[in-house]
Structure 1
Amino acid sequence: MNPSEIDAALQAAFSQCDKILCPLSEKQKQILLQVVVEELIGVALGIPEPENGDSDRTNPLAELTSEQRRVLLQFVKEQERENRPWKIKLLNDWLNNQDSGEMQFIRDRYGFQWLNRVQPVHLAEYYQLKLKVGDRIEVSNGLWEWVQENGPCSREWFPCTVVGVSETAEGERTYTNCIIRFDNGTEYEIQGIYDWNSFNWRWTNN
């Protein structure tokens, strides 16, 4: 079965649940879709079920480089913002033998078994790494100018130090602002550093 056939079969099952007044939540639907696709990928690749062992107690994301981790977390946030299961996007690419762009490294270097090990708790462990005063990070020139991957103004990264962190409330929503200081002494405030500006900074390797 290809991804569209899988999706059609599951949608038919979801409709049956609705008809007998036992509707599934969106989260339940996503879990079912993910499990089915993962199972089909595993069968297609001849991969055995992972065994419970020490590897299950370690965070798979720790095996990535800091840049790979940043790219993955950014990708997950983008997919979640669109209410799409991030694993399904990658698995569909694999089933269709399509390139996954920046995320292709997972298929090429880590494979299905590694992807299958990643659970929400593993992602949460890294999401909870909040910035604090004194942290060294790098920020992109995308904060103050228009950048394009293949345009005249390309993305550049600049090291800096966090000198202030605060929260701002707008109605029911709260977002975090961060004041950074560049090595030349210039300071700059980044608003929504975990939200709309999450793509414009990264942890340094130092």
Structure 2
Amino acid sequence: MKKTVSFLVSGRGSNFHAVAQAIIKGSIPAKVGIVISDKPGVKALDIARELSIPAFFVNPKDYSTRQEHEKAMLELLKKYHTDLVVTAGYMRLLTPYFVNEFKNRIINIHPALLPSFPGTHAQKQALDYGVKISGCTTHFIDEGTDSGPIIMQKAVPVYDDDTEDTLSARILKEEHQILIESVKLFCQGKLTVKGRKVYIVR
């Protein structure tokens, strides 16, 4: 039985779009569930509607606590029988309450080679530090910030004349590839988590 993949988004939805298209085309053996945004009017919601994917804006300001906001999201995810949550440009930290409901079933994409440069503006962090190699990482979300078990990584060169925009664009191309592959491996039942390590069954 195919697994259902849902998405949490906050912006343009580039990674969400790439994974959703891969599912629709049959490259990933899964079904698309829903898209939830914490911001109204973002491009990701427009993309979801264009693809006839149920899309919801769940406004954090409508809830008195983070847990109440996350409870509303969890109810939607469970209503649509979600097996895997992909955080694709979702800019809010998830609490342990949410993470434990989908333990080792939330995949995030981060634009750096973790554990280097966690958090926001990872590309700027890499440039400011002067690294020669950067890249991207897919990982399961745990209770920390970009600290969960690593699934896949892809390195990209950093050039002397790079700006945050040029480096981000180079990394983004690889983000699409490893996020699609990571979701595919999960849906094929080929990922096993033991402590900090993710083992891939080939």
Structure with the bigger percentage of helix: 1
From the two aligned structures, give the one with the greater strand fraction: 2
Shared fold, TM over 0.5? no
The higher-RCO structure (CA 8 Å, 6+ apart) is 2
Range class of TM-score, shorter chain? under 0.3
TM-score by length of 1: 0.22
Q: Which has the larger radius of gyration?
A: 1
